[in-house]
Structure 1
């Protein structure tokens, strides 16, 4: 029995002196496969849509209510009201559109009776062109 204890004790001493096993070699990760598609058809280029010039129709603001004018032109730069007269100013970069409303009788709705445009210097200018400039500068992108 004594021999048995000596052998077990000797084996455990030798086991304690042994080095840890070397880790298994790790293979490098394979590179992802790249598929070459030399003969793949080229997708067509997107169609270029040329922007169309803004068409301005002043009939939308002639003989119209203030709400109709705002619906077409957007919010004015300035609104002034004196008794039975109301003026809306739409100030673009280079010119100003002026819409003048009159109230025919007290309590009746204002109607635009005069639409004109001027340069910032005060000279008259073409109303449709100035209204177009205002709309291009102030309407949201579509």
Structure 2
């Protein structure tokens, strides 16, 4: 007796194992690629927030200094003390706060005599820093 050919169609066990192995390898590669992309996607937003926070601090400093010019007899000295007081204008790292002047070649030099008229203030946060000159 002859057996008739079967009309059954389907996948062999080897084909299924190969398909699962290739799918697993591709899934791992995709997960690694997407994982690093997603974990670094917030960096530009954080950087922009730090920059905007620094600008906000400088806006507060400028507004306060304008008020001091109208109401204080020594506005630059009072302002310098406030800048050097931690947290007075917000959260920042004070990098530089010193009196300066410019020589004949327009080069910045420290001013140690009383009555200096230019205060250089540099503040930073994260990778950002801002510098401004305040005069009277």
TM-score (norm 2): 0.24
Which structure has the highest helix share of the two? 2
TM-score (norm 1): 0.24
- Higher gyration radius (CA): 1
